[in-house]
Structure 1
Amino acid sequence: MTEQRHERALIVDFGSQVTQLIARRLRESGVYCEIHPFNKVDAAFLGEYDPQAVILSGGPSSVTWDDSPRADDAIFKLGVPVLGICYGQQVMMQQLGGKVESGTSREFGRAFIEKVVDDPILSDLFHAGDSEQVWMSHGDHVAEMAPGFGVIAKSPGAPYAIISDPERKFYGTQFHPEVVHTVHGRELLRNFTHGVAGLKGDWTMAAYRAEAIEKIRGQVGKGRVICGLSGGVDSSVAAVLIHEAIGDQLTCVYVDHGLMRQGESEQVVTLFREHYNIPLVHVDASDLFLGKLEGVSDPERKRKIIGGLFIDVFDEEAKKIGGADFLAQGTLYPDVIESVSAIGGPSVTIKSHHNVGGLPER
């Protein structure tokens, strides 16, 4: 098997709840990218991943804290363009010789920035003197830029709204270009990846499908796979993709917990057995789930119960099938990020999804 190597960007996650939106924007412009936690990105990882551009995400911490997350210094020695967003900008400044201070109040919501000088990252966006709507969400602010940096755009509340070191192609934004409230944020990110970093944008979903099928075949070989199927988009796409790759070497297990909409379980079973012709085990465990949930009102506790029971029932059915070499599960980026903080803290956990938050360590 030969895996095609696309140009790639790396997103270093500092725990922002909207980090996955950065990845979405990049993929929409044809750039292959992956999100990795800051504490997993070191010189060895960077050597293996070999990014052509790096983006440092936002995050809930303050760089003024002694134990706050930091970027590995190897990132700034790679010789590739780096963009720091909000907390990412502050980390960059703090580590490269600038100064960050805690503000007396947070700046959250719409703001308007004004271009100070021309720069490739603002190509075709707005002219000097014009204002541009962006979305701010920060408590700290850059008080002094690191050596080599200059101001590209400013706002009344953020004199260093966009900064850059043109020689090293390092950029920082105090606002979040990945959210829709920043009107031309998508274009700004594209200017960074395509204009500054020179990426061609050669990654497409069609290419991903073909490459994923080839990769699955190479990994599984003649082995057998069991897939946890919920009927949702994430697990259904994973199941169909795997079935295209290995056919009847795949068996799906659908645990019916009794919480689906009326008639939806029958729809799932019919779709997979009759339309896709995928081997499917349907387990009606609705009485078990509803019994365990009786009297429980806290939503987070409900999700934990559902996740734990799902694994117990799935385990039992997997043993009946026997001989499986691989477990397959489809999980969306938002599920992972909402369920588990990159820094292990509760401040960025939105909710525990049944297929993430309830999983045992094994």
Structure 2
Amino acid sequence: MTTNTQITEDRILILDFGSQYSQLIARRVRDAGVYSEMYAFDMSEEDIRAFNPNGIILSGGPESVHEAGSPRAPEVVFNLGVPVLGICYGLQTMSEQLGGKVEAGTVHEFGYAEVDILVRDQLIGELQDNENQLHVWMSHGDKVSKIPEGFAVTASTPSCPFAMVSDEARHFYGIQFHPEVTHTSKGKEILSNFVHKICGCRSLWTSEHIIDLRIEQLRQQIGNEKVLLGLSGGVDSSVVAALLHKAIGDQLTCVFVDNGLLRLNEGEQVMQMFAENMGIRVIRADAEERFLTALAGEVDPEAKRKIIGREFIEVFAEEARKLDGVKYLAQGTIYPDVIESAASKQGKA
């Protein structure tokens, strides 16, 4: 039986150099059943060692390795003894740092390309679209002009002679295209080969295991304290409500603000599902008249949005003040919203 601790034992570290596709790398790794986390390229040596990755992926990025102050991978990445995969800019900085050379390309490749397979290393394996060809998505101006000692070229295009390279002895791999995007038809398989065959990671990161892990984490974090959650009936808050209820039971109270703007009978459905069927304590705040009065005569969509948001906060706060002993406020939101709201170093690929 897999324990909650074990599902994150096999892990991939992604160092972000600012590509717009970096989050996709993490997604593809987790789709392969392997836990991953992404950090900025300047992550400290101490933190990298503490993370204890089975492998490291260097993302793409918008900068040129020739620019003063352009980002570099921490040296520990190449001394840690774990496999490394450099993607686009990740390949270029790895090549420069290990003794190769990168130059500005005379032909910039942005879009579909056909890569000719020259050597079948562990990363490529038996993959192909046409005979000894891969259909990929390129996005680069600079290109590697000399590979470091110990590396071999494994795939190329007419304008990019080092489209894929590898040093199998040290388990270092580099690719000039983006395997994380859907336009690279065998991209998921390439990343799967890296995390499974090369890094030796098991497929432990599954939906069932993730739910068990989150429930255990919630119990440890919350203890015996009370939690308040704003329940809308949408996917985000509904998932949080279900997880919290399974973790802490009656310690959870939900406030459902019925603003009168829902679909027909949706308010009753929310109460039936969560209060009656699941046994969650749900306080229904009937605020239809209040919302409709506040919205009366307003035609501007943005103004309406702000009115609804303001009224929701006020109604929710009024209900919250009626409760005693609540220590935590829970919020349900999807991961892309977290990324969009956070300060980001991302740029073009």
TM-score (norm 2): 0.83
Secondary structure at 2:274's aligned position in 1? helix
Greater relative contact order, per chain length (Cα 8 Å cut-off, separation 6+): 2
Alignment equivalent of 2:24, drawn from 16, 21, 25: 21
Indicate the larger mover: 83-92 or 250-259. 250-259
- Contact kept, 8 Å, 2:291 with 2:311, in 1: the verdict is no
Answering whether residue 203 of structure 2 is matched by residue 225 of structure 1, we say no
Equivalent position amino acid for 1:28 in 2: D
Alignment equivalent of 1:37, drawn from 22, 40, 51: 40
- Aligned mates of 1:241, 1:162 — CA distance in 2: 43
* Deviation at residue 314 of structure 1 after TM alignment: 4.9
Within-5 A mapping of 1:67-82: 67-82=69-84
Equivalent position amino acid for 2:15 in 1: V
| Offset from partner CA, 1:84-128 (integer Å, 9 cap, x none) | 222222232333333334446642221110111120111121399
* Deviation at residue 22 of structure 1 after TM alignment: 2.1
Aligned to 1:4: 5
* Deviation at residue 209 of structure 1 after TM alignment: 1.6
- Contact kept, 8 Å, 2:228 with 2:254, in 1: the verdict is yes
- Aligned mates of 1:341, 1:191 — CA distance in 2: 32
Indicate the larger mover: 151-160 or 315-324. 315-324
Secondary structure at 2:123's aligned position in 1? helix
Q: Give ranges in structure 2 of 5+ residues lacking alignment.
A: none
- Aligned mates of 1:175, 1:67 — CA distance in 2: 24
* Deviation at residue 198 of structure 1 after TM alignment: 1.4
- Aligned mates of 1:103, 1:288 — CA distance in 2: 62
- The 1:91–1:4 alpha-carbon spacing in structure 2 relative to 1, beyond 3 Å, is same
Within-5 A mapping of 1:54-73: 54-73=56-75
Equivalent position amino acid for 2:79 in 1: K
TM-score (norm 1): 0.80
- Contact kept, 8 Å, 2:107 with 2:159, in 1: the verdict is no
Aligned to 2:208: 206
- Aligned mates of 1:291, 1:12 — CA distance in 2: 50
| Offset from partner CA, 1:188-210 (integer Å, 9 cap, x none) | 11111111111222332212222
- Aligned mates of 1:322, 1:292 — CA distance in 2: 38
Within-5 A mapping of 1:65-104: 65-103=67-105
* Deviation at residue 268 of structure 1 after TM alignment: 3.3
* Deviation at residue 3 of structure 1 after TM alignment: 5.0
- Aligned mates of 1:37, 1:305 — CA distance in 2: 38
Task: Report percent identity of matched pairs.
Answer: 50
Larger-Rg structure:
2
Aligned to 1:358: none
- Aligned mates of 1:63, 1:17 — CA distance in 2: 18
Q: Give ranges in structure 1 of 5+ residues lacking alignment.
A: 349-362
- The 1:293–1:210 alpha-carbon spacing in structure 2 relative to 1, beyond 3 Å, is farther
- Aligned mates of 1:92, 1:314 — CA distance in 2: 52
Equivalent position amino acid for 1:141 in 2: K
- Contact kept, 8 Å, 2:4 with 2:212, in 1: the verdict is no
Kindly tell me the number of residue pairs found equivalent between the two proteins. 341
Secondary structure at 1:325's aligned position in 2? strand
CA RMSD across the alignment? 3.3
| Offset from partner CA, 1:157-181 (integer Å, 9 cap, x none) | 3222111222221111111111221
- Contact kept, 8 Å, 2:102 with 2:145, in 1: the verdict is yes
- Aligned mates of 2:296, 2:21 — CA distance in 1: 36
* Deviation at residue 319 of structure 1 after TM alignment: 4.0
- The 1:11–1:266 alpha-carbon spacing in structure 2 relative to 1, beyond 3 Å, is farther
Within-5 A mapping of 1:100-119: 100-103=102-105, 106-119=108-121
